[in-house]
Amino acid sequence: MPALLTRILRRTDAGPTLDLIPFGPDYDLSGDRVTINSGPLAGSILRIERSVSDTKADFAFFEMFDTAAPMSTPRPPAVEHPVAHCHFDRNPDTGTETLWSIFVRFDYRHRGLSTLLTRFTFRELLAAGRRHWFEIRKLMRVDTEGRSQTQAPGSPKPENPQLPRVSLHNVGLGVVALRLGFRPKPDLERLLASGNVRAVQAIPTDPPHPPGLLLRLESLPGLLVAALVDTETGRPLTDTGEYERFVSPKQLLRQALAGQAVIGNIDYILSRTAVESFAARLADDHSELRRFTAALRRGTQR
């Protein structure tokens, strides 16, 4: 009996069973400098400005250039506006970190930066406490603002001076959340029930934003957006025809549950079954992996 009890206790106290999982571009951190070593932004250097309190956390990333590079190398002028920034609300009682938004400047989008920023900021916050959990507010969204219609001088005034503009935003973050093991907080089966979906339309490509789906609902939040995901590459599908051939909300539900689609305009929360794989994607070594996993397991005990 004592031997059996020892085995049970050893199994209970065991650390993570997964190995480290590469996630996003490789980078080096030195103080307030991040040097990106791989991916489309390899060679880029970003300066970080952090503002972290018990209830808020803001991270801003600014473009830098290697001062050791030869003077003959052409250098564009530095831009004062941040390349990217993101904001978290923090709950000191529960340890919950809620990501409200990630903004990436136009010329840096679709180049792997959302993955890097998510990994970097989650690591920074996770390393700062003993108990943690993560949520994302309003993952992905749609822009439905009007766009002015251009016309040649002297031509008749158009009947509709505004053309509808619908584009899908934050798709990169949606795919990152899917890979990290986040799941929708609302009940997708209820939201995507046939009686709750009033209309579905394909969202055309609006470069650099990919195509997607817009679903109008009878219940709140009123709108859902969706992006289909290639499970082999982990990237959103860019073939507009895939969205135009969309069949039914039930089909979308099946794809979402299978990891083949990500649904947006709703809140997401880290799945309790994804603790180890989430930690394995954030940790740099096995010591961090054990610490991160322990902090997340304490977060599940809220």
For residue range 167-214, what is the model confidence (pLDDT) as tens digits?
Answer: 888 888 999 999 999 999 999 999 999 899 999 999 988 887 889 999
Which CATH class name applies to 17-69+83-137? alpha beta
- Residue 283 has, within 13 A of its CA and on its CB side, a CA count of 23
Strand ranges in 128-256 using DSSP code E only, listed in sequence order: 133-139, 141-143, 146-148, 162-164, 167-169, 182-184, 197-203, 212-217, 223-228
d(CA 243, CA 178): 19
d(CA 281, CA 21): 5
Domain definitions of the chain by residue range: 17-69+83-137, 141-147+162-264
Of 1-5, 20-24, 94-98, 262-266, the poorest mean pLDDT is in 1-5
Percent over 90 (pLDDT), the chain: 60
Of 7-16, 59-68, 91-100, 157-166, the poorest mean pLDDT is in 7-16
Whose tokens are 């920034």? That residue is: 85
d(CA 194, CA 125): 40
d(CA 81, CA 17): 43
The residue among 10 and 166 whose pLDDT is bigger is 166
- Asked, as a colleague might, if the bond just before 16 is cis with ω within 30 of 0, I would say no
CA nearest neighbour of 186 among 211, 212, 213, 223: 223
Question: Over 60: is that where the pLDDT of 269 sits?
Answer: yes
The pTM for the full model equals 0.81
